Protein backbone atom coordinates (compact mmCIF):
# COMPACT_ATOMS: atom_id res chain seq x y z
CA UNK A 1 0.00 0.00 0.00
CA UNK A 2 2.87 2.32 0.83
CA UNK A 3 4.54 1.50 -2.48
CA UNK A 4 1.45 2.53 -4.47
CA UNK A 5 1.42 5.94 -2.78
CA UNK A 6 5.18 6.43 -3.12
CA UNK A 7 5.18 5.38 -6.78
CA UNK A 8 2.24 7.68 -7.52
CA UNK A 9 4.12 10.61 -6.03
CA UNK A 10 7.41 9.75 -7.75
CA UNK A 11 5.88 9.09 -11.18
CA UNK A 12 3.03 11.60 -10.95
CA UNK A 13 0.04 9.35 -11.55
CA UNK A 14 -3.29 9.14 -9.80
CA UNK A 15 -3.09 6.32 -7.23
CA UNK A 16 -6.89 6.07 -7.26
CA UNK A 17 -6.65 4.68 -10.81
CA UNK A 18 -4.35 1.73 -10.01
CA UNK A 19 -5.74 -1.66 -10.96
CA UNK A 20 -3.60 -4.61 -9.92
CA UNK A 21 -3.20 -7.59 -12.23
CA UNK A 22 -1.65 -10.65 -10.64
CA UNK A 23 -1.17 -14.33 -11.36
CA UNK A 24 -0.87 -16.97 -8.62
CA UNK A 25 1.18 -15.41 -5.78
CA UNK A 26 0.87 -12.01 -7.46
CA UNK A 27 -2.91 -12.44 -7.36
CA UNK A 28 -2.67 -13.36 -3.67
CA UNK A 29 -0.70 -10.18 -2.97
CA UNK A 30 -3.28 -8.08 -4.81
CA UNK A 31 -6.13 -9.83 -2.95
CA UNK A 32 -4.39 -9.17 0.39
CA UNK A 33 -4.04 -5.50 -0.56
CA UNK A 34 -7.77 -5.33 -1.30
CA UNK A 35 -8.60 -6.99 2.02
CA UNK A 36 -6.19 -5.07 4.24
CA UNK A 37 -6.15 -1.66 2.53
CA UNK A 38 -9.50 -1.09 0.80
CA UNK A 39 -9.44 1.95 -1.44
CA UNK A 40 -5.74 1.70 -2.30
CA UNK A 41 -6.59 -0.16 -5.51
CA UNK A 42 -9.26 0.89 -7.98
CA UNK A 43 -9.74 -2.81 -8.75
CA UNK A 44 -7.91 -6.05 -9.35
CA UNK A 45 -7.68 -8.88 -11.87
CA UNK A 46 -6.81 -11.98 -9.87
CA UNK A 47 -5.66 -14.94 -11.94
CA UNK A 48 -5.60 -18.21 -9.98
CA UNK A 49 -5.72 -16.67 -6.50
CA UNK A 50 -6.49 -18.28 -3.17
CA UNK A 51 -7.68 -16.73 0.08
CA UNK A 52 -4.53 -15.00 1.36
CA UNK A 53 -6.09 -14.08 4.72
CA UNK A 54 -9.36 -13.20 6.40
CA UNK A 55 -9.13 -9.71 7.85
CA UNK A 56 -10.10 -9.09 11.47
CA UNK A 57 -12.13 -6.03 10.44
CA UNK A 58 -14.36 -6.45 7.39
CA UNK A 59 -13.18 -4.10 4.62
CA UNK A 60 -15.66 -2.05 2.63
CA UNK A 61 -15.10 -3.09 -0.98
CA UNK A 62 -18.46 -1.76 -2.14
CA UNK A 63 -18.35 -1.35 -5.91
CA UNK A 64 -14.67 -2.29 -6.23
CA UNK A 65 -14.33 -4.18 -9.52
CA UNK A 66 -12.59 -7.54 -9.18
CA UNK A 67 -12.02 -10.21 -11.83
CA UNK A 68 -11.15 -13.76 -10.78
CA UNK A 69 -9.90 -16.28 -13.33
CA UNK A 70 -9.48 -19.90 -12.27
CA UNK A 71 -9.02 -23.45 -13.52
CA UNK A 72 -11.48 -26.14 -12.52
CA UNK A 73 -8.63 -28.69 -12.38
CA UNK A 74 -6.06 -26.48 -10.66
CA UNK A 75 -3.93 -28.72 -8.41
CA UNK A 76 -2.61 -25.73 -6.43
CA UNK A 77 -5.85 -23.82 -5.93
CA UNK A 78 -8.87 -26.14 -5.64
CA UNK A 79 -12.18 -24.85 -6.99
CA UNK A 80 -13.57 -24.69 -3.44
CA UNK A 81 -10.77 -22.28 -2.47
CA UNK A 82 -11.59 -20.05 -5.44
CA UNK A 83 -15.27 -20.09 -4.48
CA UNK A 84 -14.31 -19.21 -0.90
CA UNK A 85 -12.37 -16.13 -2.06
CA UNK A 86 -15.18 -15.11 -4.42
CA UNK A 87 -17.73 -15.37 -1.59
CA UNK A 88 -15.45 -13.41 0.75
CA UNK A 89 -14.91 -10.57 -1.73
CA UNK A 90 -18.59 -10.44 -2.70
CA UNK A 91 -19.53 -10.44 0.98
CA UNK A 92 -17.42 -7.31 1.42
CA UNK A 93 -19.21 -5.66 -1.50
CA UNK A 94 -16.82 -6.19 -4.42
CA UNK A 95 -18.31 -6.08 -7.92
CA UNK A 96 -16.97 -9.48 -8.88
CA UNK A 97 -16.63 -11.21 -12.24
CA UNK A 98 -15.62 -14.88 -12.27
CA UNK A 99 -14.26 -16.79 -15.28
CA UNK A 100 -13.59 -20.52 -15.08
CA UNK A 101 -11.66 -22.63 -17.55
CA UNK A 102 -11.31 -26.41 -17.64
CA UNK A 103 -7.54 -26.47 -17.18
CA UNK A 104 -5.20 -26.36 -14.24
CA UNK A 105 -3.01 -23.65 -12.77
CA UNK A 106 -1.72 -22.38 -16.10
CA UNK A 107 -3.18 -19.43 -17.95
CA UNK A 108 -5.10 -20.12 -21.13
CA UNK A 109 -6.12 -17.93 -24.04
CA UNK A 110 -9.87 -17.68 -23.23
CA UNK A 111 -9.05 -16.71 -19.63
CA UNK A 112 -6.64 -14.01 -20.79
CA UNK A 113 -9.21 -12.71 -23.28
CA UNK A 114 -11.85 -12.59 -20.53
CA UNK A 115 -9.47 -10.68 -18.23
CA UNK A 116 -8.57 -8.25 -21.04
CA UNK A 117 -12.24 -7.64 -21.85
CA UNK A 118 -12.95 -7.05 -18.16
CA UNK A 119 -10.05 -4.58 -17.94
CA UNK A 120 -11.32 -2.78 -21.06
CA UNK A 121 -14.74 -2.56 -19.43
CA UNK A 122 -13.49 -0.85 -16.28
CA UNK A 123 -10.82 1.36 -17.89
CA UNK A 124 -11.61 5.06 -17.88
CA UNK A 125 -11.45 6.92 -21.17
CA UNK A 126 -7.82 7.72 -21.89
CA UNK A 127 -6.73 11.12 -23.11
CA UNK A 128 -5.22 11.19 -26.59
CA UNK A 129 -1.52 10.38 -26.61
CA UNK A 130 0.85 13.01 -28.00
CA UNK A 131 2.28 12.28 -31.46
CA UNK A 132 5.36 10.09 -31.47
CA UNK A 133 8.69 11.89 -31.62
CA UNK A 134 10.07 9.07 -33.76
CA UNK A 135 12.51 7.89 -31.08
State the catalytic residue, choosing from 24, 48, 60, 132. Answer: 24
Active site residue 74: yes
The three-state DSSP-derived secondary structure of 10-37 is HHCCCHHHCEEEEECHHHHHHHHHHHHC
Catalytic residue status for 133 = no
3-state secondary structure of 86: helix
Active-site entry in 74, 102, 132, 133: 74
Cα 115 to the chain's mean position, in Å?
9
Catalytic residue among 105, 108, 120, 126: 105
24 carries an active-site annotation: yes
Catalytic residues: 24, 74, 105
Amino acid sequence: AGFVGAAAAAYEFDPAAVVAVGYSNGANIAAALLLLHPGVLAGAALLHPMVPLVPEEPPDLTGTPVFVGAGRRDPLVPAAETERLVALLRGYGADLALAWHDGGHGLDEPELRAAAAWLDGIAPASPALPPSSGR
